[in-house]
Amino acid sequence: PITQYESLAEIKEFDDISVLLDTFYRTRDMHERMRQKSADLVKLLNNNIERVSKKLGILNKTLADSENKDKYKIYGDLLMANLYNIKNGQSSVEVIDYYKEDSPTVKIPLSPQLSPSQNAQKYYKRYNKAKNAEIEAAKQIENAKNDLEYLESTLAAIETSDTESDLNAIRAELIAEGYLNRKFNPKKQKQNASKPMHFVSSDGFDIYVGKNNTQNDYLTLKFANSSDLWFHTKNIHGSHTIIKLGLDKDVPKTTITEAAELAAYYSKGRDSSQVPVDFTQIKNVKKPNGAKPGMVIYDYYNTIYVTPKELKNE
Please, are residues 262 and 310 in contact by the beta-carbon 8 Å criterion?
A: yes
- Amino acid letter, residue 255: T
Q: What is the pLDDT of residue 140?
A: 94
Alpha-carbon torsion (169, 175, 181, 182), positive or negative: positive
Q: What is the pLDDT of residue 191?
A: 44
**Burial track 123-137 (b if 16+ CB lie within 10 A, e otherwise):** bbebbeebeebbeeb
Question: What one-character-per-residue DSSP string does 217-253 give?
Answer: HIIIIIIS-TTSEEEEETTS-B--EEEE-TT-----H
What is the distance between the alpha carbons of residues 147 and 159, in angstroms, rounded to a whole number? 19
What is the distance between the alpha carbons of residues 170 and 90, in angstroms, rounded to a whole number? 64
Q: What is the pLDDT of residue 190?
A: 52
3-state secondary structure of 146: helix
Please, are residues 160 and 154 in contact by the beta-carbon 8 Å criterion?
A: no
Q: What is the pLDDT of residue 19?
A: 92
Write the burial class of residue 154 (CB in 10 Å: 0-12 exposed, 13-18 middle, 19+ buried).
buried
How far CA 22 is from CA of 18, 28, 35, 36, in Å, comes to 6, 10, 20, 21
What is the distance between the alpha carbons of residues 96 and 116, in angstroms, rounded to a whole number? 16
**Burial track 184-204 (b if 16+ CB lie within 10 A, e otherwise):** eeeeeeeeeebebbebebeee
Closest CA to 168 of 197, 196, 190: 190
Please, are residues 127 and 135 in contact by the beta-carbon 8 Å criterion?
A: no
Q: What is the pLDDT of residue 59?
A: 94
Please state the length of the chain: 314
Mean pLDDT by 10 residues, the chain (314 residues): 75 90 87 86 95 95 89 94 91 92 91 95 95 93 93 91 86 90 57 78 94 93 94 95 85 95 93 92 94 93 93 64
Write the burial class of residue 88 (CB in 10 Å: 0-12 exposed, 13-18 middle, 19+ buried).
exposed
Write the burial class of residue 56 (CB in 10 Å: 0-12 exposed, 13-18 middle, 19+ buried).
middle
Q: What is the pLDDT of residue 101?
A: 84
Please, are residues 216 and 294 in contact by the beta-carbon 8 Å criterion?
A: yes
Q: Kindly report the backbone phi and psi dihedral angles of residue 81, in degrees, each rounded to the nearest multiple of 5, phi listed first.
A: -75, -15
